[in-house]
Amino acid sequence: MKISTSHMLPAFTALALASPIALPHPQEVHHLFTRQDIQTPINASLPNVTIFATGGTIASQGSSNTQTVGYQVGLGVQQLVDAVPEILNISNIAGYQISNVGSGSINETILVRLASMINAELEKEDIAGVVITHGTDSLEETAFFMESVVNSSKPVVCVGAMRPATALSADGPLNLLQAVTLASTPNARGRGTMVTLNDRIGSAFYTTKNNANSLDTFYSTEAGQLGFFINQVPYFYYAPATPIGVTHFPLTNSTDLAQVDILYAHQDMDPTLFNASYAAGAQGIVFAGMGAGGLSSVARLAAEELFNATGLPMVASHRSPDGFVPSGSEGFAIASGFLNPQKARILLQLALTAGYGYEEIKEAFALGYPAP
């Protein structure tokens, strides 16, 4: 499943110096991977950063400056950059409009193509780093996906906003300025994919959205932060390091990733869900277990029967926001370690897509919590 990304990509370099293209009407921004949408004038002494815009609250407008729920996605990458002219004093920006959707609608087609484009972009010598603007709801999934498939030490920075662009105290513009700053900072290299919102810099491997509504929602309680912005300058707590246990997968040409479902454990969980998921085509199941990966005895029996009958890989994760599932807690199931269900799902998808068998999958998860 090894690929050469250069074969997959249209010749963006030919477009790279085209003058800015007129903005599509916000409602029409649905094109995928078509062309470079913006290129600001080049100042050769500034670093070059490419923004990949996917939609989300950061690109949304409400009907009033007090509306902070129920707003519409619609701003294009040009409008995002236009809102923060300060960005052009620190970098030259190229921008691609990848999609313009809420992050709940980001799917495997978008993820795989986005990753291919980022890999190709970061191979260019004069690119310092890239920024992905994204809705916050599934931002951690895209960030974890990029962590797993982007093969570069240059920074990949995922950013979003909790308030639409029209809101009083919109957080998007400053978040975007910080994201571009981070992507162009030499000291941000070698830290894997990062997530930045609300002044915090976190690792894609651990950072999660902790609150559905509040501004201060992205952080990692136990693993902590990588750094913090003071007066728009990123300060890091540690020297560059990537998270323990990241498996780097080569991208495939196929945007068809393995189907993996997540089942949520709870009191009186319906045991037939495991078979239903398998019957619907799941090639793997992650369950958001109770405590450290637990299931009710009835659900556990059903899951184990399915495993015995089919060998379907199942990963035990935790429904608690934070925590660890140790190896062996559910015999047949592979332990997710620190990974929450949505990140465990992506790792399982990538492993299955790469053709890993049960033992290799187990090893890939175990890399996240090496024996002392």
Provide the annotated active-site residues.
57
For the record, the structure tokens of 243 come out as: 């998270």
Q: Which amino acid is at 194?
A: M
Binding-site residues sit at 103, 136-137
**Contact residue for ligand NAG among 18, 233, 244, 309 (CB under 6 A):** 309
6 contacts ligand NAG (rule: CB under 6 A): no
**Contact residue for ligand NAG among 48, 57, 340, 353 (CB under 6 A):** 48
Cα–Cα distance measured from residue 205 to residue 208, given in angstroms and rounded to the nearest whole number: 9
Binding-site residues for substrate sit at 103, 136-137
Cα–Cα distance measured from residue 100 to residue 106, given in angstroms and rounded to the nearest whole number: 9
Q: What is the DSSP string of 88-140?
A: GGT-EEEEEE-----GGG--HHHHHHHHHHHHHHHHSTTEEEEEEE--STTHH
Selected range binding ligand NAG among 230-238, 285-293, 298-306, 342-350, rule: CB under 6 A: 298-306
Q: Which residues contact 315 (CB under 8 A, 6 or more apart)?
A: 284, 285, 286, 287, 333, 334, 335, 336, 344, 345, 348, 361, 365
89 contacts ligand NAG (rule: CB under 6 A): yes
Partnered with residue 132 across adjacent β-strands are: 52, 158
43 contacts ligand NAG (rule: CB under 6 A): yes
**Contact residue for ligand NAG among 187, 275, 327, 342 (CB under 6 A):** 275
Q: How far is the CB of 126 from ligand NAG (least distance, A)?
A: 4
Between 43 and 320, name the residue whose CB sits nearer to ligand NAG. 43
126 contacts ligand NAG (rule: CB under 6 A): yes
308 contacts ligand NAG (rule: CB under 6 A): yes
Q: How far is the CB of 211 from ligand NAG (least distance, A)?
A: 27
DSSP code at position 358: H
Which residues contact ligand NAG (rule: CB under 6 A)? 2-3, 7-8, 32, 42-48, 85-86, 89, 92, 99, 101, 107-110, 126, 151, 248, 250, 253, 271-272, 275, 301-302, 304-306, 308-309
